[in-house]
Structure 1
Amino acid sequence: MKNVFLRRKNILISAILILCIILSTLAFAQQDINDNENKVKNVILMIPDGMTIAHTTLARWYQGGEPLAMDELACGLVRTYSANNPITDSAPAATAYATGFKTQNRYLSIYPEMVSMPGVGQVEEKDFYKPIITILESAKRLGKSTGLVFTCQFPHATPAAFASHTDNRNDYESIAEQMVYNHVDVVLGGGYKYIDKNQRKDKEDLAGYLKQNGIFVTTNWQDAKNFFGQKIWGLFAQDAMHYDFDRKDAGEPSLAEMTQKAIQILSKNRNGFFLMIEGSQIDWASHANDPVGVVSEVLAFDKAVKVALDFAKSRDDTAIIIVPDHTNGGMTLGIGTTSIDSVLLNHFLKYIRRATRTAAGVEEILGNNKTDENIKKVVSQYYGIDNLTQDEINAIKNAPQGRLNYVLGPIISKRSYIGWTSNEHTGEEVVLYAYHPKDYIPRGVIENTEVCDYMAEILGIDLGSFNENAYISNIDLEEKGYNVSIDTSNPSNIQLVINKGSKKYIIPQNKNLVLEGSNQYKLKYVSVYIPSAKRFFVSSEIESLIK
């Protein structure tokens, strides 16, 4: 009887173990199903640069209290600090969204060497300045189409973070070259002069390179509207585009129109797409403390949000994330010691609603005709202000070129009871907005790096695998026994030179090319030179190429 009992006991234990395995397998299977349900083909990241709650409040009142298109998507807050400062600039802020890593101010999608903020992991010295693969670059490697839409010049910090790597966000010529050689499929915005051989210091014909690689290049919006191919760089201004209130006479498209065109082109790819859209000049208006510019650009951005949201809601494979990169200006509705009971809604809106140009637009209209009478006439015509003081007239007259908005903005703000604490970025959290067809969205207070983590998750991208051994530096190559040198004889074209036997391999900075005699090879990623550290980073498959 004892043996029978033991056999029954063993059978029962075995059955329990089998049941546990089955339940565990089912649980994992269910998790896989849930993960697959949350995945999408397309992600649209929208960045209203520098936008705060005060900005959206003012824009909402401007349109009669009607909700913004983005309002229904508000779901949390995002912490914006960089690796070395509680107040970030746009370069590390965009880097966090592009790579999932915090870096230091001025850096674009490279690891920092200076980390001083709590909770930010230290980087090993060998990885200082090393390029970090971006979500756009990863999406492209997976066969997705990629796009960047903005109203600034394309090498500016936010678009640049997704398709370039540098320790100097102001090195526009190098950044532009990297972005061109990164083969972004759709680029719509400003900055043609950075691909024009006649305007570049190094005389590189980047526009010609794009055309040779099957990309339609245009500066004309009508031509772009009529384009129905799959790759286009439409750069509709030599540098930055106009503010939305000022653009009509310039023949430039709106952010919403460019968004519509980008989606139309990118959605042709059955593998899906990644698209970043920036409301670039919300930030610039905030730097100038110009409330008219703020309203102009927030509403223009919100119209682009509606375009993207209409597209996403018409299908079940697209997610949208809307998130400012930082706050700017410390804008408030209410100023000084003014009694809250004495300021009515019309006091905030009176002059802003009358405005038909931003301060930057008014500067173009004034031109060189800055007589007292013409200043009073133009300011009255475009803002309805008829009581300029002599000090204000003198300030307008003496404003440096390109900086009149820093004078007119505060003049309008004072009369509109709108306060500002700064002409610079500030360090508060920003509002997170998100749409997902299955309502799988981040909530609560999150880090800016988690925005990238979320996008990678729903796209099914393992960013870690892309970053692992993606780049190798000249120092790494030397330690492995290669004969390596950096040729700086032409400052506009720094090159990494690798000698092996009778062969010499030349790797130009900012390109994805290797030259060996009359042979030319392409690398996965663009090569990056960091002058301050004398470090040259090259795509790691260079080793297999030169063996």
Structure 2
Amino acid sequence: MKTLKRLTTLTILLSLLSFTLPSTCIFAAQPHKNVILLIMDGTNSDILTLSRWYRGTDLQLDKILTGGVRTYSAQSAITDSAAAGSAMATGVKTKADFIAMNPDGRPALTVLEGAKLSGYRTGIVATSPVQHATPAAFTSHTLNRDEFGDIGEQQVYQGLDVVLGGGAAWLKPQSKDHAKDDDGMLKTKEVSREDGENLVKVISSSGYDMALRRDGLLRKAQSSKLWGVFADEDISYEFDRETLKPDEPSLAEMTSVAINRLSQGEKGFFLMVEGSKVDWAAHKNDPVGMISEVLSFDDAVGEALDFARKDRNTLVVAVTDHGNSGLTLGNQGTNGDYKNLPAEKFIEPLKKAKLTVKGATSQLKKNRTNLKEVLSSYGLGNLSSKEYCAMEDAKSVEDLESEMVRLMAKRANLGFTTHGHTGEDVFLYAYGPGKPVGLIENIDIPKVISSYMGFSLTTGKFATWYVDGKEYYRGKGFKVKIEGRTSKNPVMVATRDDQVLRFPENKDFYWRNGDKVGLKSVNVYDGETFYVHVEE
């Protein structure tokens, strides 16, 4: 009985203690939540099949197939990357060329911005310039995807924790780069920040580690913030990179480093990774380039899955934004014998290529004395006289590339229907808590992500984040005008009594009587209307 009384007393004391001690002493802390969204730009289903045959093993993607995604835009059954990226970033179907803008032209807050405003760390990775349509759609707002200057400036002032990719040209003041070509001729290339701003200095003064080469990316971290820019424009195709551009990192390496940096935060992170150049190769109808970038992307997916399986609180979603090229295994030449074409008939011609068509022709001398070597590097040896003459007769590098990919497709029994985008549904891949399944709309992806991370883009303050600045401040009794409307650095000026507020385009601050005041997001100007965020 004494023993029973002691146990009862001890149970009561422990129960009382559980009410008096902080909850963190009794219960585990709420787990962090991470999301890694990986996007293959311009990838149709047949190139995934072909890439699997080429590699000879299942893809990382195959292990997490969960459904499909519909890709059409607000105006077309076939979308462009801007509208598709914006749909996956904002949850709104919009028009071609719009970057995170509603169809009516108003900025729509992105899932990356929502995550950042909710206390998560954020990052983007791309093999294109980071100012390109898909990464732009998560980090900026413009009516035209080609406004790389505005997009780049908004990205710099968004306060992201990790940015990795190409696009150095749009971070520097306008200048001229001089270099010699293979024949010793001096050539000049314009680099493009027309407003004269040096965004590299802004990045360097904002607490970022700055990486310009692969070894700089892979060295030990000094800061939790990292900006890596590894090419003036795009990063090389993976098949070309090791031979032609060894100082550039792979997509898998960038993804791994980004995850490592972002996971240093306590709450969690959102990371968008784009394998940008499947689309670029598809526009050229280059099956070698397409395979190069699918496999590069798949390696990056492997990095994400390795982390997610260990972490157990990470949602991984992988998808393509739209199809491209209409690639098919089989063409008009296989009408009669498709029953007798093992995988080797498609793969063996492709495996003879050591470089993509872009990589191969980049080595062509001006006098074309090394044409045979260039063709051989793309796997086109043993050409007939007719085939070689067609290559010799090509008037431009673009014409030569067209002849090369046409012949490669013929040898590999492949067909192409277009050099443009296509409108088919695409595969959905997902892993982890809250993963999407089934056939969904592309606008459902940010809804799934934001729901898992605990915020909404469609209700509450995020749904009406941006307001018309002129309309808002006039309602508060200010006189409002836009200075430098046609300049490269327009400013909205609001004046009332002795108050003067100056809102510069693309920046995350404004000036109040000369004092700098920080904002939670960037100011957006579409050429007519200044959109700002205001705290009531």
Give the structure-1-normalised TM-score.
Answer: 0.85
**Aligned-pair distance for 1:408?**
2.2
Letter in 1 for 2:430: A
Would the aligned equivalents of 1:510 and 1:526 in 2 still touch at CA under 8 Å? yes
**Aligned-pair distance for 1:110?**
0.8
3-state secondary structure, aligned to 2:525: strand
Q: Which shows bigger deviation, 36-45 or 48-57? A: 36-45
Would the aligned equivalents of 1:351 and 1:385 in 2 still touch at CA under 8 Å? no
Would the aligned equivalents of 2:333 and 2:413 in 1 still touch at CA under 8 Å? no
Do structure 1's residue 68 and structure 2's residue 68 form an aligned pair?
Answer: no
3-state secondary structure, aligned to 1:383: coil
Would the aligned equivalents of 1:39 and 1:460 in 2 still touch at CA under 8 Å? no
1:234 maps to what in 2? 228
Alignment of 1:422-441 (within 5 A): 422-436=418-432, 438=433, 440-441=434-435
**Aligned-pair distance for 1:457?**
1.1
Letter in 1 for 2:488: S
**Aligned-pair distance for 1:287?**
0.7
CA shift in 2, pair 1:367/1:495, >3 Å: farther
Would the aligned equivalents of 1:514 and 1:522 in 2 still touch at CA under 8 Å? yes
CA shift in 2, pair 1:38/1:170, >3 Å: farther
Residue of structure 2 aligned with 1:94, choices 85, 101, 123: 85
Q: Distance in 2 between matches of 1:368 and 1:297?
A: 28
Letter in 1 for 2:36: I
Do structure 1's residue 45 and structure 2's residue 41 form an aligned pair?
Answer: no
2:312 maps to what in 1? 316
Do structure 1's residue 168 and structure 2's residue 163 form an aligned pair?
Answer: no
**Aligned-pair distance for 1:486?**
1.5
1:79 maps to what in 2? 70
Letter in 1 for 2:346: F
1:516 maps to what in 2? 512
In structure 2, the gaps of 5 or more residues are 1-27, 176-190
CA shift in 2, pair 1:272/1:351, >3 Å: same
Residue of structure 2 aligned with 1:54, choices 46, 52, 58: 46
3-state secondary structure, aligned to 1:314: helix
**Aligned-pair distance for 1:38?**
12
Would the aligned equivalents of 2:130 and 2:136 in 1 still touch at CA under 8 Å? yes
**Aligned-pair distance for 1:431?**
0.2
Would the aligned equivalents of 2:470 and 2:481 in 1 still touch at CA under 8 Å? no
Do structure 1's residue 156 and structure 2's residue 111 form an aligned pair?
Answer: no
Q: Distance in 1 between matches of 2:389 and 2:30?
A: 58
Deviations 1:257-310 (A, max 9, x none): 111111111111011000011110001111111000011001111111111101
**Aligned-pair distance for 1:490?**
5.5
Residue of structure 2 aligned with 1:178, choices 135, 154, 157: 154
CA shift in 2, pair 1:444/1:489, >3 Å: closer
Aligned length: 485
Q: Distance in 1 between matches of 2:168 and 2:220?
A: 18
In structure 1, the gaps of 5 or more residues are 1-35, 113-127
3-state secondary structure, aligned to 2:495: strand
Would the aligned equivalents of 2:501 and 2:512 in 1 still touch at CA under 8 Å? yes
Q: Distance in 2 between matches of 1:295 and 1:398?
A: 25
CA shift in 2, pair 1:400/1:173, >3 Å: farther
Alignment of 1:106-185 (within 5 A): 106-112=97-103, 128-185=104-161
Sequence identity (%): 39
Would the aligned equivalents of 2:59 and 2:298 in 1 still touch at CA under 8 Å? yes
Residue of structure 1 aligned with 2:197, choices 204, 209, 218: 204
Q: Which shows bigger deviation, 354-363 or 403-412? A: 403-412
CA shift in 2, pair 1:389/1:333, >3 Å: farther
Letter in 1 for 2:414: I
Alignment of 1:93-492 (within 5 A): 93-112=84-103, 128-197=104-173, 198=175, 199=191, 200-228=193-221, 229-248=223-242, 249-250=244-245, 251-338=247-334, 339=336, 340-371=338-369, 374-387=370-383, 390=386, 393-394=389-390, 398=394, 400=396, 405-436=401-432, 438=433, 440-463=434-457, 464-477=459-472, 480=475, 481-488=477-484, 491-492=487-488
Letter in 2 for 1:68: L
**Aligned-pair distance for 1:217?**
1.7
Letter in 1 for 2:466: Y
Deviations 1:3-48 (A, max 9, x none): xxxxxxxxxxxxxxxxxxxxxxxxxxxxxxxxx9998600000001
1:119 maps to what in 2? none
Letter in 2 for 1:61: W
Q: Distance in 1 between matches of 2:30 and 2:249?
A: 34
3-state secondary structure, aligned to 1:491: coil
RMSD of aligned residue pairs (Cα, Å):
2.1
Q: Distance in 2 between matches of 1:476 and 1:129?
A: 16
CA shift in 2, pair 1:233/1:400, >3 Å: farther
1:28 maps to what in 2? none
Q: Which shows bigger deviation, 488-497 or 200-209? A: 488-497
3-state secondary structure, aligned to 1:323: strand
Deviations 1:80-130 (A, max 9, x none): 011111111001111111111111110011111xxxxxxxxxxxxxxx211
CA shift in 2, pair 1:181/1:334, >3 Å: same
